[in-house]
Structure 1
Amino acid sequence: MSDLIEGFLGKSVEGKKSKLPAQLDYIQSATGLFLGLFMWVHMFFVSTILISKDFMYDVVQMLEGSMFLKEPQPAITSFAVLVVSAVFIAHGLLAMRKLPINFRQWQSYRTHMGMMNHKDTSLWFIQAATGFVLFFLGSAHLAMMFAKSHEIGPYASADRMYTDIMWPFYLLLLLAVEFHGSIGLYRLCVKWGWFEGANAKETRAKLKKLKWAITVFFLGLGLVTLAAYVKIGYEHRDNAGERYERTSHLELRHDGKVKA
């Protein structure tokens, strides 16, 4: 009966407010922090192609367990994708609680945003819009990586960009991820008072500058990386589907004999 009363009134029979909304907020923040930091690490991973194909290949092999297994196992990547997908879904479901669910709520928010002309309120709108886009693009990307974890590599990834014409998809994904993630991490710092210091207003201004600097950096890195994969895919178009072999593993054939 007490649960029923709390469900209708939002308070227990003792008159105490439910702690559930705060607990859900905490989980939403924790999952958002995990995903934001993960995307930074992920961006550095995919950008290893800018160093060399060999380096990108070595990193893929390492993440597939080459350091402790005789043969790298793409299943390790698939498992990691499952974990990230679970966090992604949990974060998305929790975030949906705060989105306008009908026209009246949407109209009220737009009026509120226009009257206040508050930058953080406008940032929330961008975060909500990019989050909606990520619900579709992010889910599709995770599904592809789970099903095709064995097709991650210098040539396979580049072929996907150019030959499979997936670069427009990843361009949109890049924009949505970087804006959503950087705004989300900024709002987490403000919400929970991280790095607040003695002057909260001054700290918020500094955090906002840092947020835009991070956004520009990762957008620039992402665009250059995407261009690199497209370029490699273009150069490899006649041999699309061929797997990359590390330079030191290639065998030189001379006079019908194999030489290391």
Structure 2
Amino acid sequence: MLASYKNAIGHPASARADKLQSITGVLLGCFLLAHLHFESSILLGKEAFYTFVQLLEGGMFSASGHGFPIVTKIISVFMLLVVIAHAAVALRRFPAQIGQWRALRRNLSLINHKDSNIWFWQLVTGFALFFLVPAHLFTMITNPEIGPHLSAERVLHQNAWLLYILLLPAVVIHAMFGLYRVAVKWGFTTQRTVLRQVAKVLVVYLIVLGLLSLGSYISIGMDLALPVEAFKPH
């Protein structure tokens, strides 16, 4: 019995899985921070967003200055692979039966431990993201064209806002508190209370930033005539 316990808790494969989960989680969290700020450039106007897109898609290497949408596709494929790796190692900690979920909720209500509650919401948002994130990334892989008009068309006229309104809070909560848990888990900080407050502030800030960006795309989309033509800077 003791041997089986050691195998379950201290097996080298479990330690490697923990490291992989943390590494992929940090990568995804940092990518989200960059991605939401990149998307928010639409708040500076169509030309600002267009300039950012061309820069990130390697427009400086093009004779016309226009970026290469294949870059967006490659990044989306890579991030999908990272998401799959992260989910694969994280799933081993998911309660497998409804009875386990009930027992978990009952224990959490009795204990009322802040980090345990964070872990529970990591499970809930992680489960939702298992479906939401691939849907978003598959869209970017199959249709990687980005621009003020094309992105607005996707958001409003192709009803992607329905996906994003669910994806935004789930991914922000999961990522920011995930970064918090990694920092605590691997001993990067002992200031749990301070770091929890930082995570909460980031959650509110990023959700507001994302909603403002989403609202801007919707506003642009409402002014577009169909069929939508790609934005051309003056």
TM-score tier, shorter chain, comes to over 0.9
Query: 112, 117, 120: which is aligned to 2:112?
Result: 117
1:109-160 alpha-carbon deviations (Å, 9 max, x no partner): 122211101121111111111111111110000000011012x110011111
In the other structure, the counterpart of 1:75 is 70
In the other structure, the counterpart of 1:212 is 200
In the other structure, the counterpart of 2:166 is 172
Q: What amino acid maps onto 1:242 in structure 2?
A: E
- For the 8 Å contact 1:189–1:195, the answer to whether it is kept is yes
User: Unmatched 5+ residue regions in structure 1?
Assistant: 1-7, 197-202, 248-260
Q: How far has the Cα of 1:76 moved from its partner? A: 1.4
Mapped pair 1:239 → 2:234: no
Output the CA distance in 2 between the equivalents of 1:241 and 1:191.
48
Asked which structure has the greater CA Rg, the reply is: 1
In the other structure, the counterpart of 1:200 is none
Q: Looking at secondary structure, tell me which structure has more helix per residue.
A: 2
Aligned residues: 229
Structure-to-structure mapping, 1:35-54, within 5 angstroms: 35-54=28-47
Structure-to-structure mapping, 1:1-260, within 5 angstroms: 9=4, 17-70=10-63, 71-150=66-145, 152-196=146-190, 203-236=191-224, 238-247=225-234
Q: TM-score, normalised by structure 1?
A: 0.84
Q: How far has the Cα of 1:11 moved from its partner? A: 6.2
Q: What amino acid maps onto 1:39 in structure 2?
A: L
Superposition CA RMSD, Å:
1.8
Output the CA distance in 1 between the equivalents of 2:96 and 2:85.
19
1:188-220 alpha-carbon deviations (Å, 9 max, x no partner): 111111132xxxxxx111011111111111011
Output the CA distance in 2 between the equivalents of 1:11 and 1:223.
47
Q: How far has the Cα of 1:65 moved from its partner? A: 1.3
The DSSP-based 3-state class of the residue aligned with 2:60 is: coil
1:20-49 alpha-carbon deviations (Å, 9 max, x no partner): 101110010000000000000000111110
- For the 8 Å contact 1:74–1:149, the answer to whether it is kept is yes
Identity, in percent, stands at 38
Q: TM-score, normalised by structure 2?
A: 0.92
Q: How far has the Cα of 1:10 moved from its partner? A: 7.0
Q: How far has the Cα of 1:103 moved from its partner? A: 2.6
